[in-house]
Amino acid sequence: MNVIAAVDRNWGIGKNGRLLVAIPEDQRLFRQETLGKTVIMGRKTLESLPGGKPLYGRNTIVLSRNPEYGIRGACCVSSVSEALAAVKGCKAEDVFVAGGEEIYRAFLPYCRTAHVTYIDYAYEADAYFPDLDRDQEWVLDVETEEATYFDICYSFRRYVRRSAGLRL
């Protein structure tokens, strides 16, 4: 499985249920990487999307603590094990974990690749992604040259897990 996130200098990912910043090139990368694939996200992340609806052209799995939760166009589950069962027939490289914080932490042990947009700025955040630079299980594999969007400097990074990780 893959994880995909945009993080700031402190590995912050959001504040008050919203992304810290919207960078068009990051949004294009997200679309390019996930289109036609399976995306796992939490209920709050889904509800923060435009219209609170699943993303077009993706198989969306939504985790909610409420087993009665349902939304048209998505597979709704209430546990990590149910989500893993829902992706059992998928190729691992075609599954992307897309947030929020609790979902990232729950699924990171199952992921082999992390696609990270690293924003070289420290925002005020209340949700964080695990710092892969300090995690001995992960190694930075590829980093693009720094780009800018107005005055925001960012780069795209790919991290890979040193070991195989947990099996699906």
List 38's β-bridge partners, or say none. Answer: 59, 95
| Element spanning 7, H or E | strand 2-7
Question: Would you say residue 20 lies in a domain?
Answer: yes
For residue 45, what are the domain limits?
Answer: 2-154
Q: With the CA atoms of 122, 62, 102 and 11 taken in that order, what torsion angle do they form, in degrees rounded to the nearest 10?
A: -20
Contact 38, 95 (CB under 8 A): yes
Question: Would you say residue 161 lies in a domain?
Answer: no
Question: Would you say residue 168 lies in a domain?
Answer: no
Number of domains in the chain: 1
Question: Would you say residue 41 lies in a domain?
Answer: yes
pLDDT in tens, the chain (168 residues): 999 999 999 999 999 999 999 999 999 999 999 999 999 999 999 999 989 999 999 999 999 999 899 999 999 999 999 999 999 999 999 999 999 999 999 999 999 999 999 999 999 999 999 999 999 999 999 999 999 999 999 999 999 999 866 665
The domain that holds 12 is classified in CATH as 3.40.430.10
